[in-house]
């Protein structure tokens, strides 16, 4: 099956969150899709992040994660998701933070910068470390529609959806359908 990364797939607002969101329907075992299970999709993620990622100016051009480092990159992705999801749900645990910091360290210890490019896994580690040390953890949220992690950068911190054009519209359409259906049943 062919897959293309679009701007919507980079709605997290930080590279580390976009990487964590590469697992679609994470908590639905029957419908779960791991976009990085296909290494070609993982490789093309770096190219798409160069176009759509919120931190593309910060890191400059991203290089693909080297094949021999893919497993540690996936470990970083999972540790990122577990830690920040627990933090958002007020279920923060020191062991989840330790796991994330160990995954960050494992990536940063062995990923050199190559020819003006930073590898996707190293940039993701830097992004996660920035989020860990963020003075505003209340800006981290979970989309109620798709359950993706995202940064709320709105002035009044009222953003609800990872992407209003996709998840917000789906939610509004469901509400409209329910209201219309209730009105016709009365």
pLDDT range class, residue 185, cuts 50, 70, 90? confident
Calpha distance 84→137 (Å, rounded): 9
Taking a C-beta distance cutoff of 8 angstroms, is the pair 121, 22 a contact?
A: no
Per-residue pLDDT tens digits for 6-22: 998 999 999 999 999 99
What pLDDT score was predicted for residue 1? 52
What pLDDT score was predicted for residue 10? 95
Q: Running DSSP on this structure, what letter comes out for residue 1?
A: -
pLDDT range class, residue 134, cuts 50, 70, 90? confident
pTM: 0.89
Per-residue pLDDT tens digits for 46-77: 999 999 999 999 999 999 999 999 999 999 99
Q: Average pLDDT of 121-134? A: 96
Report the mean per-residue pLDDT for the chain.
90
pLDDT range class, residue 115, cuts 50, 70, 90? confident
DSSP 12-54: TSSHHHHHHTTEETTT-TTT-EEGGGSHHHHHHHHHHHHHH-T
Q: Average pLDDT of 113-126? A: 88
Residue 110 has pLDDT above 60, yes or no: yes
What pLDDT score was predicted for residue 177? 54
């Amino acid at each position: 099956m062919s897959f293309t990364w679009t701007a919507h797939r980079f709605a997290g607002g930080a590279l580390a969150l976009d990487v964590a969101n590469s697992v679609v329907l994470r908590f639905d075992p029957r419908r779960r899709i791991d976009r990085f299970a296909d290494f070609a999709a993982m490789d093309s993620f770096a190219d798409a992040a160069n176009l759509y990622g919120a931190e593309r100016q910060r890191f400059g051009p991203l290089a693909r994660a080297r094949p021999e480092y893919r497993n540690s990159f996936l470990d970083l992705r999972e540790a990122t998701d577990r830690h920040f999801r627990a933090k958002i749900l007020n279920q923060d645990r020191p062991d989840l933070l330790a796991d994330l910091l160990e995954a960050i360290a494992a990536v940063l210890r062995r990923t050199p910068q190559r020819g003006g490019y930073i590898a996707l896994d190293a940039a993701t580690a830097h992004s996660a470390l920035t989020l860990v040390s963020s003075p505003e953890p209340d800006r981290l949220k979970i989309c109620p529609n798709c359950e993706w992690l995202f940064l709320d950068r709105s002035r009044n911190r009222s953003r609800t959806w990872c992407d209003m054009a996709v998840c917000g519209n789906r939610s509004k359409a469901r509400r409209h359908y329910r209201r219309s259906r209730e009105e016709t049943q009365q």
